[in-house]
Chains A and B, each alone.
Chain A
Amino acid sequence: ETVMTQSPTSLSTSIGERVTLNCKASQSVGIDVDWFQQTPGQSPKLLIYGASNRHTGVPDRFTGSGFGRDFTLTISNMEAEDLAVYYCLQYGSNPWTFGGGTKLELK
């Protein structure tokens, strides 16, 4: 199976900062990566599909990029509501697999 490794596992950030989250696949998955946001007590929400396509209603401060094995989710101007755990998911090969997540916290 394709193992997705997210880094860092947690990140302390400030409001207004630019934040970069990483996801690395153990083998190439093309652009077959989604990104999800999960706030405490809530179900995950889709942010990005196909590595770089923003889902309907997602603010443009969220940007996804990458191809092959290396993927990035960037939040350009951190807001308080962005404090959450972020997960990548690869669907390039079965079984689909999630990364372990990155938790964004306030400094």
Chain B
Amino acid sequence: EVQILETGGGLVKPGGSLRLSCATSGFNFNDYLMNWVRQAPGKGLEWVGQIRNKNYNYATYYAESLEGRVTISRDDSKSSVYLQVSSLRAEDTAIYYCTRSYYYYDGTYYYVMDAWGQGVSVTVSS
């Protein structure tokens, strides 16, 4: 069974930083691209960023709104991915989801984001 579990959320002061962890099991982590997606209270989904796998040299991509404040890393030996966000603002208050994507080819290429964690809540407040 595919399992994706985010941890590390909680209350953080403005200007501080956070580090979220995402532990996975039930699939070959090395084969997957991993994403972070967030959702502010009562709002829509926002793609935060992605780290690709070894086949893609662990390339990272980030949302423009967070560029410069966010770092995504992974540890294939632990089947885990991490999100660091610095200089936190009230607007970073959200549920943060860890998701997996895979590259699929059946004559056409697709990225398929097929599994999500339950999310972890982060509140930025003094």
Q: Interface of A with B (CB < 8 Å)?
A: 1, 31-32, 34, 36, 38, 43-46, 49-50, 53, 55, 85, 87, 89, 91, 94-101
Given known pairs A43-B97, A100-B44, A101-B44, the reply for A49 and B61 (CB within 8 Å) is no
CA distance A46 to B47 in the complex (A): 15
Given known pairs A87-B45, A94-B61, A95-B64, the reply for A45 and B116 (CB within 8 Å) is yes
B117 close to chain A: CB less than 8 A: yes
| Given A50-B112, A91-B101, A95-B62; 18 other pairs, CB 8 A cutoff | A1-B63, A34-B111, A36-B45, A45-B116, A46-B113, A46-B114, A49-B113, A87-B44, A89-B47, A89-B113, A91-B113, A95-B63, A96-B61, A97-B63, A98-B44, A98-B45, A99-B44, A100-B44
Residues from chain A with Cβ under 8 Å of B101 in the complex:
91
Interface 0/1 of B110-122, CB less than 8 Å to A: 1111101111000
- Determine if A98 and B97 form an interchain contact, defined as CB atoms under 8 angstroms apart: no
Residues from chain B with Cβ under 8 Å of A89 in the complex:
45, 47, 113
Q: In terms of DSSP, what is the predominant structure of the interface of chain B?
A: strand
CA distance A99 to B46 in the complex (A): 9
Q: Interface of B with A (CB < 8 Å)?
A: 35, 37, 44-47, 49-50, 61-64, 97, 101, 104, 108, 110-114, 116-119
Closest B residue, CB atoms, query A96: B47
A to B CB contacts below 8 Å, 28 in the list: A31-B108, A32-B110, A34-B112, A43-B116, A43-B117, A43-B119, A44-B45, A44-B97, A44-B116, A46-B112, A46-B114, A49-B104, A49-B111, A50-B108, A53-B110, A55-B112, A87-B44, A87-B45, A89-B45, A91-B111, A94-B61, A96-B47, A96-B61, A97-B47, A97-B63, A98-B37, A98-B47, A99-B44
